Amino acid sequence: MLTTFILTLVAAQAIFAAPSPRIYVPPDPPNVNISNPPTALGAECPGYAASNVKKTDSSLTADLTLAGPACNLFSTDLVDLKLSVEYQTNDRVHVKIYDAGLSVFQVQEEVLPRPPNNNAASSDAMLQFDLVEKPFSFTVKRKENNEILFNTSSRQLIFESQYVSLRTSLPTNPNLYGLGEHSDPFRLPTQNYQRVMFNAESPFIPTKSNLYGSHPVYFDHRGDKGTHGVFLLNSDPMNINISRTDAEGQYLEYNTIGGIIDLYFLAGKAPAQVSKQYADVVGYSPMYPYWTFGFHQCKYGYWDVNYVAEVVANYSTAGIPLEVMWTDIDHMDLRQDFTVDPERFPLQKMRELVQTLHSRDQRYVLIQDPGIHAVMNYSVFTRGLEQDVFLKNADGSTYLGVQWPGVVAWPDWLAPNTQSWWTGEIQRIFNPDTGVDIDGIWVDMNEASNFCHDTNCDPAKTAKDEGDPPPPAHAPRPNTGRPIPGFPADFQPTTNTSSIKARNSKPLSPRQAQNGTMKGLPNRDYLNFGYQVNSHRGPLSGFTIYLNNTNRDGTKQYDTHNFYGHMMSHTTQASMIARRPKVRPFVLTRSTFAGTGRKTTHWFGDNESSWEHYRTSIRQMLAFVSMHQMPLVGSDVCGFNKDASEFMCARWALLGAFQPFYRNHAEISSIPQEFYQWPKTIKAAKKAIDTRYKLLDYIYTALYYQTTAGTPIINPLFFLYPGDANTFGIQHQWFYGDALLISPVTTDASDIVTFYLPQDRFYDFWTYEQVDGMGANVTKTGLTEQDIPVHIRGGSIIPIRANSANTTKALRQQDFVVLVAPGADGKAKGRLYLDDGESIEQPNVSEISFNWDGKKFAADGSFGYVGASGESLTVKSVQILGQQQAGQLGTFDSATKSVTVEGPWKLAGAFGFEL
């Protein structure tokens, strides 16, 4: 029955589908060669001289003056600068170099609130700042071992109106990480390598290219000498070059076309401590709903509401748990935000769909894009005009571009009325009583992506030539006669445009004076400038909002482009809170900036169904979770573009189950790749989701500690073994939490994997066999599509659910089993966090610590959470691995060398036992 039903649905797609590409493939990336970077031309520039140096116990200030004739390399040298150094905490130093007139753009506080300055005593600080007055340079060193972490003396500072350059020397062959978003190696290359910070739509996530986000922070790991971080708070387009020369050695060099030098030095010394210190600067993640860790399904090309319901039913029939159903832009009326297609997704049926999902304890998420269709019969647009929320041209008319619905206007997220307008639109269409009662919002295309290729674009002509919006490819389907399991019996399926009316335009009202406002130097050329930032999409105003657009607060897109999507996602998050003030919001965004994780989540964009992108998803996860403080991230499982294969998709189902965000998603022209499509993926998905759900409280607990202490829920191996040089370059293994080592097959179409086991005690997660790592590679063969090596790190205690379930709500009704995996010293510890999984305010929570000292097991801590009706707060049993005999209380299993002590114990107070 299942096979027949699924094959019928696939056949239907083949009949009806006439897909058009969703993405615009960019031109070939520029041929970047930085072996002789442009800044080599500035070697003769005079630099600056420091004067009027003033020191206190916790700060230093100085004036910086151009030290000779201006070289005006790419624009005009600024003569007078200021230096400010703050020992903000014992582990953080803030160094800021800015223009004396305070005209150069600085990132607004509303975009990234600054951390407090605690005025730490420099004598107590872990780091030490020193300067040379003429020619000006500075160093930052770790006082504990006199390790120089940052040294600018090899090249003079250049600070021009449209070009700023600063170089630091590095050790030979450094271990550098971060500088996202990219699809390159996790440990960054160190010769002729360039990271471009310019957010852009990036089909197929090309390598050596800028992608959807800008996170100018790097971690420098020096083994036993410690790990430190450097964050440049600058949103302007930039190239960051990492290379070496015989004369100057290894270096990292910032080259930006605007903004200031605003550096935060994070002392570490352990890698995870740097993560925490970075969170102190850019903000901690919020807690997300418990259900977001469930399995999600989406595809661009579910062309009517009936199709969406059939997918949900197929998962149910196949016995594969599905927590969240998503719908792409298919649901919109001619791709217009805040609408539903009246024929294919009629509101009544959408409401019925969501009500059915909610009755089954499942969830629903819809997409929204920033481009608002600019036609006068579209009320979302006209209300936006009335509230003055759109970006404008210099003459006061609405700035127009092209996106999915055709000619569009772009919200100005810095305008005073945009938040209330956006919230109103969300509340109108997603009203639980009259609209589509969604559980989360997905914001896409927000780099922002513009189908206008360049600044010569005629939006109306471009939209017409490229067919935006295209007419729906599929006619509404009549009643197919097929029942959809789990849905009401009547659940079966039973466009106007106009041009913008002429309107009077008026010049923009006078802006606040530029001088002293930190909103950007006046009289810059925003479209043509001397220094080239090497975006893979070509000129910076191509395929996006033109950089000469002025935001409502007087700043320019030239300076603020990189946080356009960041502001959209944060605005959407605030709207979702306004819609449901007591419930944790869920917002997924494609475009990100430093601090985006303070409110929203991210997926890695439009990858492809390939083994390389299967591997890439691991590298991207490692960087985003452990270094960019975005814990709930993941890739499109099985790939977005191109056609997935059965074996690869089965492998990806297992890999994705051990990543934070777990969603299968494909492009409209791709073949269906839902897990129920193939026998191998059905088996793999059942095992993957079963295991993921049993471990959900373990990883939810890890999320809690990332939100409160900055401790990553995903750990690169060197985070836990910082002194083991063999771990520094490992990029295809990771720790899920701090206890489970994941080592997936990463060779194309292979059943073999070679992975590294540090010198430590481990246990095979599947068999409980004790394995002592020797600090060497281990090879496993004969791994089927249902196999993924997972090892428990010795010294860990893991709370798991005794059984899985079809939904996360049902999962919470299952008892706990506590798994104890002693280390080589015979001891272990772990923890469990419990709350209701959904409320923003959690007055009653449990934070439970587990401890095993070799003989005694103890659980203590706080036990405030009492649970909902039907929810289990019972520990069924405690299982202790690596044992040789039962003791007085337990039952010994010779096959697994484990002892099980049966409960039950209620998680309402401390308990324990002694073997």
Q: Which residues are catalytic?
A: 444, 447, 606
Q: What gap in Å lies between CA 301 and CA 538, rounded to an integer?
A: 30
Amino acid found at 860: D
Query: Residue 451: CA atoms inside 13 Å, Cβ hemisphere, count?
Result: 26
Cα–Cα distance list, 355 to 295, 306, 544, 857, 886 (Å): 19, 14, 38, 45, 51
Handedness of CA 617, 276, 589, 213 (dihedral sign): negative
Looking up tokens 């484990």 gives 898
Question: 99 near 66, Cβ under 8 Å?
Answer: no
Q: What gap in Å lies between CA 567 and CA 448, rounded to an integer?
A: 11
Q: What gap in Å lies between CA 882 and CA 896, rounded to an integer?
A: 8
What phi and psi values does residue 855 have, to the nearest 5 degrees? -135, -35
- β pairing state of 796-801 and 227-232: unpaired
> What token pair was written down for 835?
């709350």
Amino acid found at 561: H
Sorted by sequence, the CB contacts under 8 Å of residue 590 that are 6+ apart come out as: 212, 443, 444, 445, 446, 447, 565, 602, 603, 605
For residue 135, cis peptide bond before it (omega within 30 degrees of 0): yes
Q: What gap in Å lies between CA 590 and CA 603, rounded to an integer?
A: 6
* CA nearest to 367, candidates 309, 302, 311, 294: 302
Q: What gap in Å lies between CA 345 and CA 304, rounded to an integer?
A: 6
Question: 469 near 451, Cβ under 8 Å?
Answer: no
Torsion, CA 551, CA 557, CA 559, CA 562, rounded to 10: 120
Amino acid found at 650: A
The runs of H, that is alpha helices, within 167-225 are: none
* 284: DSSP letter: P
Question: 871 near 812, Cβ under 8 Å?
Answer: yes
Helix or strand holding residue 765 (H, E): none
Query: What is residue 880's three-state secondary structure?
Result: strand
Sorted by sequence, the CB contacts under 8 Å of residue 420 that are 6+ apart come out as: 387
CB neighbour class for 313 (10 Å; exposed up to 12, middle 13-18, buried from 19): buried
Cα–Cα distance list, 734 to 160, 177, 214, 618, 705 (Å): 43, 15, 23, 8, 18
* CA nearest to 734, candidates 749, 746, 752, 751: 746
